Structure 1
Amino acid sequence: MKWLITMALLACMPAMAQLSENFDDGDFTFNPPWSGDSSSFVINNGQLQSASITANHHFFLSTSNALAHAEWTFRVKLDFSTSSLNYVDVYIISQNEDLLQPGNTGYFVRMGNTQDEMSLYRKDDSGEVKIIDGIDGAIAGSSNEIVVKVSRSPANRFMLFRDIGPTGNFFAEGSVEDAAYDSTSHFGFVVRQGSSSFFQRHFFDDVSIAPFIPDTIPPQLVRVTPSGPTTVDVEFSEVVEPLQALSPLKYSVSGGVGLASRVDTDPFNPKLFHLTFFNAFPERVELRLSVTGIEDLSGNLIQPTNHAFAYFVPVFGDVLIYEIMADPTPPQQLPDLEWVELRNNSGHTISLYGWKFCKST
């Protein structure tokens, strides 16, 4: 019986160590309980919302959390333009339930402030230290909705990501190793608001804290698409080290084309890069793009990769309208649908992006 009880307790421990909160129950005082400046928050439409109508007010809400090496994700909406007096701190690690206690220590993500950025700070008893400096202007809109992801490995390496929109694509703000605080008791939100223009305009949702799971899978090249006679787009299976991926020496094309001359990031997809070459691609010839020496953010190295592609400009007869199904009314024993079937007669892949089917007039 003792053995069964012990096993049951061990089985419950991982579930107890995690946090998942979406505020759909309409009550932040229970399951899990949040405490702090409770009168300054409400739940509105399944989101935690600030409710304070006091100018120059700092207020917080926190909940228990024992994971100091974890992956934290949460959604924040700031329905205003941030400033030095109006921003949010999200404590992923706090030694105290009272996040505003002067001697409190831990780590927090600040969204806003003068630079309209999202950065990771260490909170010492003597003050704040910025340890990951996010991109200036990343949250400079008049309304900003951000999904934030932070991870901390057992080796104390922090990584900070943002997804603004959200779009489903996380951009890396940076990484750092810091071992100052190796334990925690609470997670929570701190709102810093100035005038009445910022009252009740902070929203929080979809909080998840889970044990850190190491990434051991190397990145892969999943798509190679020529976009012009000297340009090609490449997409990886995950976010990779930007300094490595931006090196033209990492990419070469067969057929005498050679090394890339320039690499550009994509503003909307952090896994996508745009390559430019000095030499033009020979048309209607299978070429191979080689990629080497690129790691993901966990240090996993891509396997030497050769990806086939071909560049050509379609000519008359390469794409045929093979069948047209009109939409007869009544349907006359046919599907009440309409479609156009196209046939690729070229033997090469042709992108139909931007193509339209329309009348001649």
Structure 2
Amino acid sequence: MNSLKKVQDNIPLILFFTTLFIVFHQDSSGQFNEDFSDNNLHTNPKWSGDIDKFIIEDGKLRSNSLIPSDEFYINTVSNSVLETEWQISLDLDFKTSSANYIDLFLASDSANPSKANHAYFIRIGNTKDNISMYQILDGVTSQLTNGTDNKTENKKIDINVVHQANGKWEIFVDYNDGNNPAIEGVITNLEISKSDYFIIRIKQSTSGFFRKHQINKIKVGPILIDSTPPKIDSLI
């Protein structure tokens, strides 16, 4: 009887922690901060896919496929789409082309990017050596933005993508080691509102491109508000 009473007395506390767990779990599945400093792809967050084709060196994620004409990927759970900001830093030690590029799937309904029916992704490279945004809708891929050409060869690149509640996408890219961010694309698109995965996909051709792709950090979360007030240079 006393045991039953203790359980009854603790019901509010149990409900509180249960609710807290559910909220935390939902939040953590949609947002993550990965800098690879733990040298671990199996927890916090857990990555899946072609794990054996990636390696962590010096706290950075590096491609590790030694197969010519290969396409490989890793994914992690992420439900974030609206009111979300993605920050990705990477180093490309090669000349990008239509056969050598990186796709960052910001949102995907499939763990395998080749099987995605609904997705948004950023392509770094391709024929024009630029950074552009694409959409997969009902299995059909279409280009949404077209970045500045001849920008992605042998570069350290910082990408910041913001998706507002009204559907506005803004893509900011820095090709100068954090010193000169510029906007590379703006578009309004609300056609995809759900996601299950964030994915990194790499396409490489010959041995000259092996192990030349490095991801330094990835952060997915709520939009960061710039608290710095604007500077007034003139009242004219």
Query: How well do the aligned residues superpose, as a CA RMSD in angstroms?
Result: 2.1
Q: Which residue of 1 aligns with 2:104?
A: 90
Match of 1:20 among 33, 41, 49: 33
Q: Which residue of 2 aligns with 1:50?
A: 63
Match of 1:127 among 132, 136, 140: 140
Q: 2-side partners of 1:147 and 1:108: how far apart? A: 16
Are 2:12 and 1:4 aligned?
Answer: no
For 1:171-250, list aligned pairs within 5 A: 171-212=182-223, 220-222=230-232, 224=233
Q: 1:167 to 1:58 in 2, by over 3 A?
A: same
Q: Which residue of 1 aligns with 2:164?
A: 153
Q: 1-side partners of 2:21 and 2:56: how far apart? A: 33
Structure 1 letter corresponding to 2:131: M
Residues 134 and 144 of structure 2 are in contact (CA less than 8 Å); yes or no, is this contact kept in structure 1? yes
Q: Deviations over 1:40-60 (max 9, x none)?
A: 111111111100011111100
Residues 153 and 214 of structure 1 are in contact (CA less than 8 Å); yes or no, is this contact kept in structure 2? no
Structure 2 segments unaligned to the other structure (5+ residues): 1-11
Q: 1-side partners of 2:79 and 2:147: how far apart? A: 26
Q: 2-side partners of 1:24 and 1:194: how far apart? A: 29
Residues 92 and 108 of structure 1 are in contact (CA less than 8 Å); yes or no, is this contact kept in structure 2? yes
Q: 1-side partners of 2:23 and 2:140: how far apart? A: 40
Residues 71 and 203 of structure 2 are in contact (CA less than 8 Å); yes or no, is this contact kept in structure 1? yes
Residues 105 and 199 of structure 2 are in contact (CA less than 8 Å); yes or no, is this contact kept in structure 1? yes
Q: Which residue of 1 aligns with 2:175?
A: 164
For 1:139-150, list aligned pairs within 5 A: 139=152, 141=153, 143-150=154-161
Larger Rg: 1
* Higher RCO by CA contacts (8 Å cutoff, separation 6 or greater): 2
Figure out how many residues of one structure are paired with residues of the other and give that number. 222
Task: Report how far residue 167 of structure 1 moved.
Answer: 2.6
Task: Report how far residue 23 of structure 1 moved.
Answer: 0.6
Q: Deviations over 1:44-103 (max 9, x none)?
A: 1111110001111110000000111210001121100111110010000011111222x4
Identity %: 27
Task: Report how far residue 166 of structure 1 moved.
Answer: 1.3
Structure 2 letter corresponding to 1:96: S
Structure 2 letter corresponding to 1:33: K
Task: Report how far residue 15 of structure 1 moved.
Answer: 4.8
Q: 1:167 to 1:5 in 2, by over 3 A?
A: closer
SS of 1:84's equivalent? coil
SS of 2:192's equivalent? coil
Q: Which residue of 1 aligns with 2:91?
A: 77
Q: 1-side partners of 2:117 and 2:214: how far apart? A: 24
Residues 101 and 125 of structure 2 are in contact (CA less than 8 Å); yes or no, is this contact kept in structure 1? yes
SS of 1:49's equivalent? strand
